[in-house]
Chain A
């Protein structure tokens, strides 16, 4: 556990910015929250428990994260929708110099055009956040672990 309240606030601000960029946009700026060789993936608890490495989304670099953004914004045929992240319960622990393992709960709500709001996913982040030479905190690893095995139709936006 880290007891540095300043650091905790700084990390929470990173997650708030993450939620803002995914939920409100511009999504094109979302990859900037990751280091160049970052890993971003969405997995299910079922696969983790069964020892299977499949991810629902797997990006192995900031470039891969940009490819995902391009697909969402320009390539995929999707019914318009909005997502909304609630993130809470941060736990952080030092992991090497200028790096911290961060875990937190997430709930993501989805509102499809013309319909009501539903809870789309809930789970836990298991992330690694690092401070880069420009002083900014960024994700080196972001793993979104979904509690449910089943996705309600399509997983369009990052969790």
Chain B
């Protein structure tokens, strides 16, 4: 079935047709309209490339890009494609360099992507050489738009993007600045996993607090995230970004809410309680803020573990999830140790997130049982408004409202 034959048959977004997770044409359209369209894609943290010449490779959608800091401290995001014959010029995942040189014919690029050297440009002994009108200024690496805020770096294929602050909107900007508050960051480390499901299921997972209070025994039992905790679910005015904000329960006794949580274990105790030695570090009462920023970023604050999760799609049925755990440069030794301990909750082996990667695998497999059916997304109603609780799928409905606009579905 071709894209123009695909019809979103439902009035609204409380049903999501399963073909959005499997159809190669839908996926190709997403690469153009979502990732290479009018969006700010998260590409990394400045603290990953602190010094002049530091670079890392990453992706914008499926496109290989280089994120590099130049001598002036500016950050450039360059498509990793030689202007000559299209080779990937950067082969290392990360490092420090003075220039990028293609191995094939040794075309050389400055850190800002400008072409600086072409061997035999004037020929050899009067033979060959590039045409007289060949201008190196026309043949640099493709430069993407870059936005930076408080240590986070975003890139866009659109040349005329609005400022990141306007893109986030006031509500989401306030929550973004809660973690990215301008203090210098310290990288704790990275973890990466290849998850065998469509990239949107990752966003939906974070936009779905309903599951978190049921699936995750760890969260529920230790009160980190429970359906009866004071919470809210918020979106920006377009519905593309969202945040779940919640406060840890201090009363862990069973009650009416825990009766319906099949995963609640009253008697569970940790043999090494340092795992949950949580200290308050933000001025507001929230203990969890999970923010999703269109089209590829999750910002996680749970207990004292802070991380960005970058979604890199890899075909309709897989994506890479790149986690960058971080703290602040002024963290004392105890806080540095605490962040390492709390990181046990998250990542490919996380006491919490392990459940999610397994569930996403099952979701993608289940979708194939009958990909002409649709998901039911009606918890908390059929609308897309903010809720002052987490027994809701409103953020998923809001996401698909914006998705349908961008995709023309």
The answer, among A44, A50, A58, for a CB contact under 8 Å with B341, is: A58
Give the docked Cα–Cα distance between A20 and B357 (Å): 27
Judged by a CB distance under 8 angstroms, whether A28 is at the interface is: no
How many contacting A-B pairs (Cβ < 8 A)? 122
Could you tell me if A150 and B361 are in contact, using CB atoms closer than 8 angstroms? no
Evaluate contact between B275 and A67: CB separation under 8 angstroms.
Answer: yes
Contact with B along A121-137 (1 / 0, CB 8 A): 00000000000000000
**A153 at interface by CB-CB < 8 Å:** yes
B218 to chain A minimum Cβ distance, whole angstroms, is: 6
CB B263 to nearest CB in A, in angstroms, measures: 8
Q: How many residues does chain B have at the interface if contact means C-beta atoms less than 8 Å apart?
A: 40
The answer to whether B348 touches A151, judged by C-beta atoms less than 8 angstroms apart, is yes
Knowing A60-B274, A67-B270, A67-B271, say if A152 contacts B344 (CB, 8 Å).
no
Scan residues 264-319 of chain B and give those whose CB is less than 8 A from a CB of chain A: 265, 268, 270-272, 274-275
CA distance A77 to B361 in the complex (A): 12
Is the Cβ of B93 less than 8 Å from the Cβ of A46?
A: yes
Q: A57-B349, A60-B274, A67-B275 are in contact. Are A153 and B194 (CB under 8 A)?
A: yes
Partner of A79, one of B217, B270, B325, B358: B358
Whether the pair B351, A54 counts as a contact (CB closer than 8 A) is no
Complex Cα gap A157–B194 (Å): 17
1/0 per position for A49-66, CB-CB distance to B under 8 A? 010111111111111101
A-contact 0/1 string along B197-227, CB 8 Å cutoff: 0000000000000000001011000000000
Bound complex: CA A144 to CA B354 (Å):
19
The yes or no answer to B147 lying at the interface (CB within 8 A) is no
The proximity string for B residues 68-110 relative to A, scoring 1 for CB distances below 8 Å and 0 otherwise, is 0000000000000000000000000110000000000000000
| Seed contacts A50-B94, A54-B190; 12 additional CB < 8 Å A-B pairs | A47-B190, A52-B188, A63-B272, A75-B217, A75-B351, A76-B354, A77-B215, A77-B354, A79-B358, A149-B190, A154-B193, A155-B354
User: Using a CB–CB distance below 8 Å, which chain B residues touch chain A?
Assistant: 93-94, 187-196, 215, 217-218, 265, 268, 270-272, 274-275, 320, 325, 336, 340-341, 343-344, 347-349, 351, 354-355, 357-359, 361-362
